[in-house]
Amino acid sequence: MLSDSVVEGPLPNSQFQRSWAEIAAIGRDAGSGGYLRYGFTEPVRRLEEWFRDTAVADGAHTVTEDGNGNLFAWYGPAPEQGDAVLLGSHFDSVPYGGGYDGPLGIVSALLAVRALREAGREFRRPVGVVAFAEEEGSRFGVPCLGSRLLTGALDPDRAAALTDRDGISLAEAMGGRPAGARPETLDRIGAFVELHIEQGRALVDLGAPVGVASGIWPHGRWRLDFTGEANHAGTTRMTDRRDPMLTFAFTVLAANKEARLRGGHATVGRVEVEPNATNAIPALVRGWLDARAADAGTLDALVEAVRVKAADRAARDGTTLALTRESLSPSVEFDGGLNAALRRVLGEGVPVLPTAAGHDAGILAGHVPTAMLFVRNPTGVSHSPAESAGDDDCAEGVRRLADLLDELAGQ
């Protein structure tokens, strides 16, 4: 049963629809309806422009960028006062992603602040809304790039040298080396709350518009380079080939099997082939393994089992395998006190769910008390144009975020 909200009437519904319509076309591919919103590109810059304008119109006294591409809008007492409540998420998408993964958390945060302002409430603690940079890692390969830089989990020199698929470095895209760890910013944050579209069907099955996250599975990305020998597809005897595509195909099936055995998740969603010609045996197949599991031991065992099987198969195929870990996100448990506050404002019986998706909240959780809430996704699909959310559920998310903010920071 949901409890009463401090925000009365239908206001968030119409405001949500209006705000959503303002950004809906930015970065959307007309054919598929999917979004191409990558960090430090024109669509994200336009979204950030919209963020600045909206925040300032709603009374933000400062909008700052932290040197890592993360944008902060501040309301109420000066952030230097400390113990700030920070809300937000990310604007960027995966290639041809949905529109809700990320932006819903930012738009909801801005509207929650506005709803309290319109209800005449004031803040006793500094309140911030953040738009984190390149959460998906779709352009530079490292997920949660902005929050990792902010917290010092990613070395700024290593980050500066990361390149996108066109060979543009992060330093070039940002117009300079990222600033790296900002302990003075982190020290000012007393709580971080990220609202996010649910990326599964748990809330649909439970008939609940919103839910609370308990934690995040450990997960990571590994690059697999399979090297063989380029040769003629027509004239090379089947027995004379060193074909890395075979090793790769076997490894994809092995990853699927090993994940199922352990109740984990394994995906190979990106692949590059050289020379990538129909009539040539490949010289190189490069694939990326995304692996996740309920605990670190299971994740290690899963990736190790894939490595052993792939290496064994490579020996038989006359190919070689090089495995490189590109990122690892440890398991996260969200803050007990904040989750209790969320359950109070969401009402007893609100679903509490674990997730296997990565979030900036997972990175922040190692440094400040952090929590997440999810909004129902009727299709249960995410990282795809089929991702969806109802306006009423989104407005409910805004109302509940406003209630939480009022409880944490209201006078």
> Where on the chain is the footprint of ligand GLV (CB under 6 A)?
136, 143, 357-358
DSSP collapsed to 3 states, 203-257: HHHHCCCEEEEEEECCEEEEEEEEECCCEECCCCCHHHCCCHHHHHHHHHHHHHH
End-to-end CA distance of the chain: 26
Minimum distance of ligand GLV from residue 203's CB (angstroms): 17
Q: Out of Mn ion, ligand GLV, none, which partner does residue 156 contact, by CB within 5 to 8 A per kind? A: none
Query: Closest separation between CB of residue 273 and ligand GLV, Å?
Result: 23
Cβ-in-10-Å burial (0-12, 13-18, 19+) of 12 comes to buried
244 is a site residue for Mn ion (CB under 5 A): no
Measured from the CB atom, is 159 or 197 closer to Mn ion? Answer: 197
Decide whether 90 or 188 has the Cβ nearer to ligand GLV: 90
Among 48, 66, 92, 101, interactor with Mn ion by CB under 5 A: 101
CA–CA distances in Å: residue 95 to residues 47, 56, 192, 358: 17, 30, 27, 16
- As a whole number of angstroms, the distance between CA 159 and CA 142 comes to 9
Indicate whether 141 belongs to the interface with Mn ion (CB under 5 A).
no
**Does 102 sit near Mn ion (CB under 5 A)?**
yes
Tell me how far apart the alpha carbons of residues 89 and 87 are, in angstroms, rounded to a whole number: 7
Q: According to CB under 5 A, which residues from 42 to 61 bind Mn ion?
A: none
Q: How far is the CB of 143 from ligand GLV (least distance, A)?
A: 6
Query: What tokens appear for 274 in the block?
Result: 């050289």
- Closer to ligand GLV by CB, 268 or 409: give it: 268
**In this complex, which beta carbon is closest to Mn ion, that of residue 7 or of residue 357?**
357
Minimal distance, residue 170 CB to ligand GLV, in Å: 19
The position carrying tokens 């989990």 is 153
> Closest-CB residue for Mn ion?
101
Nearest residue to ligand GLV, by Cβ distance, number only:
358
CA dist., res. 225 & res. 320, Å (int): 8
Supply angle C-alpha 376, 380, 386, rounded to 5.
110
Return the sign of the alpha-carbon dihedral for residues 379, 30, 53, 168: positive
For the bound state, the minimum distance from the C-beta of residue 96 to ligand GLV, rounded and expressed in Å, comes to 14
Which amino acid does the sequence have at 393? D
Using alpha carbons, select from 258, 256, 246, 244 the residue that is nearest to residue 286: 244
Of 63-71, 252-260, 283-291, 357-365, the window that binds Mn ion (rule: CB under 5 A) is 357-365
Helices (H), 215-359: 244-262, 296-317, 336-346
66 contact choice in ligand GLV, Mn ion, none (CB below 5 to 8 Å, kind-dependent): none
Candidates 96-104, 243-251, 346-354, 393-401 — which segment interacts with Mn ion by CB under 5 A? Answer: 96-104
Contact by Cβ (8 Å): 193, 86: yes
3-state helix, strand, coil in the chain (%, to 5): 40, 25, 40
Residues 344, 349, 351, 352, Cα dihedral to 10°: 60
Single out the segment in contact with Mn ion by CB under 5 A; choices: 3-11, 78-86, 269-277, 358-366: 358-366
Q: Is 92 in the site for Mn ion (CB under 5 A)?
A: no
What's the closest the beta carbon of residue 37 comes to ligand GLV, in angstroms?
A: 13
CB of 93 to ligand GLV, least distance (A): 9
**Residues touching Mn ion, count (CB under 5 A):** 3
Q: Nearer to ligand GLV by C-beta: 5 or 93?
A: 93
What residue 102 binds from Mn ion, ligand GLV, none (CB within 5 to 8 A, per partner kind)? Mn ion
Least CB distance from residue 131 to Mn ion, whole Å? 12
Which of ligand GLV, Mn ion, none has residue 403 at its interface (CB below 5 to 8 Å by kind)? none
Contact range with Mn ion by CB under 5 A, out of 101-109, 210-218, 240-248, 398-406? 101-109
Binding status of residue 360 toward Mn ion by CB under 5 A = no
By C-beta, is 137 or 211 nearer to ligand GLV?
137
- In angstroms, what is the minimal distance from the CB of 397 to ligand GLV? 18
Structural element, H or E, at residue 409: helix 391-409
The closest of 59, 38, 102, 75 to 382, measured between CA atoms, is: 102
> Residue 98 corresponds to which tokens in the numbers above?
């949905």
Q: Taking the mean position of all CA atoms in its chain, how far away is CA 140?
A: 14
- Cβ 88 to Mn ion shortest distance, Å: 11
Site residues, Mn ion (CB under 5 A): 101-102, 358
